[in-house]
């Protein structure tokens, strides 16, 4: 991941509201993670989305210690995103974030947020994910990454990543991403700064997934703050 142009990726997130990265995982690594879904001892909890009216699909939160591949990805993705998070924090007069994930997780623990948040999501035909925000306590790191594990058009059709921005006193704007195998989508957890007439304003962002038409779609969600 060292060779990725993070300056360009984060500039795109800043300007467009989200960015699709080059592959972060090889096809073999994607398969390896998909195969964990039915494994015992890897996850701390399972959510059947329809039971909560969250959509239609199932997701499982990884337990600590995270499987090494997921732990490494979360640790490596954090520093370049923390730089954008801190630029946004300065613009919005919000708190600053540490440079490394270990320190962020220690701060989460101080806020009573001990439980890991990376998750594996799986949707079948008709599956979807309602628009939401992944806030899990007082401490929210402002960016997250969803990594496509399946192969679009081969494993599934439909199932686009959807983002909706609510600008104050304006109509909402929808955006769609179609990451390929192993590619990540970087997007805001709750809001992002957008330049206005008098400085930067917070624009609320929610994300979700449009209906899967055929096949199965699996995604690895990487959220950096831990949960209460």
Q: Give contact residues for ligand AKG (rule: CB under 6 A).
A: 121, 129, 134, 144, 146, 161, 207, 209, 219, 221
Nearest residue (CB) to Fe ion, 134 versus 155: 134
Which CB atom, from 131 or from 200, has the smaller least distance to ligand AKG?
131
Find all residues with CB under 8 Å of 98, minimum gap 6, and list them: 82, 104, 107
Query: Residue 205: is the preceding peptide bond cis (ω within 30°)?
Result: no
Among Fe ion, ligand AKG, none, partner that 161 touches (CB below 5 to 8 angstroms by kind): ligand AKG
Q: 6: which residues sit within 8 A by CB, 6+ positions away?
A: 80, 83
> Could you tell me the smallest distance in angstroms from the CB atom of residue 142 to Fe ion?
14
Under the rule (CB under 5 A), what is the footprint of Fe ion? 134
* Residue 29 · residue 73 · CB < 8 Å: no
**Backbone phi, then psi, for 65, in 5-degree steps?**
-75, 135
The residue of the chain with the least Cβ separation from ligand AKG equals 221
Please, what is the minimum distance in Å from the beta carbon of residue 138 to ligand AKG?
A: 19
Partner interacting with residue 108 (select from Fe ion, ligand AKG, none; CB below 5-8 Å by kind) = none
Give the shortest CB-208-to-Fe ion separation in angstroms. Answer: 8
> Which position has the token pair 């998070």?
85
Q: Residue for token digits 């997921």?
A: 70
User: If contact means CB under 5 to 8 A according to the sort of partner, which of Fe ion, ligand AKG, none does residue 21 touch?
Assistant: none
CB of 221 to Fe ion, least distance (A): 6
Read off the tokens for 207: 């994300």
């Amino acid at each position: 991941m060292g060779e990725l142009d993070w300056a360009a990726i984060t500039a795109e997130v800043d300007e467009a509201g989200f960015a699709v990265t080059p592959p972060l995982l090889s096809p073999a690594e994607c398969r390896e993670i998909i195969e964990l879904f039915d494994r015992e001892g890897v996850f701390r909890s399972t959510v059947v989305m329809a039971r909560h009216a969250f959509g239609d699909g199932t997701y499982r939160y990884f337990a600590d210690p995270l499987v090494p591949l997921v732990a490494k990805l979360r640790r490596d993705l954090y520093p370049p995103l923390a730089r954008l998070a801190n630029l946004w924090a300065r613009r919005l007069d919000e708190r600053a974030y540490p440079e490394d994930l270990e320190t962020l997780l220690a701060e989460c623990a101080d806020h009573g947020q001990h439980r890991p948040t990376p998750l594996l999501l799986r949707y079948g035909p008709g599956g979807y994910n309602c628009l939401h925000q992944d806030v899990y306590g007082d401490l929210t790191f402002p960016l997250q990454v969803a990594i496509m594990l399946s192969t679009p058009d081969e494993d599934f059709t439909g199932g686009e990543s959807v983002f909706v921005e609510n600008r104050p006193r304006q109509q909402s704007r929808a955006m769609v991403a179609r990451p390929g195998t192993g590619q990540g989508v970087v997007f805001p957890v709750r809001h992002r700064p957008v330049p206005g007439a008098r400085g930067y304003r917070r624009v609320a962002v929610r994300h979700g997934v449009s209906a899967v038409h055929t096949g199965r779609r699996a995604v690895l969600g990487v959220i950096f703050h831990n949960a209460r």
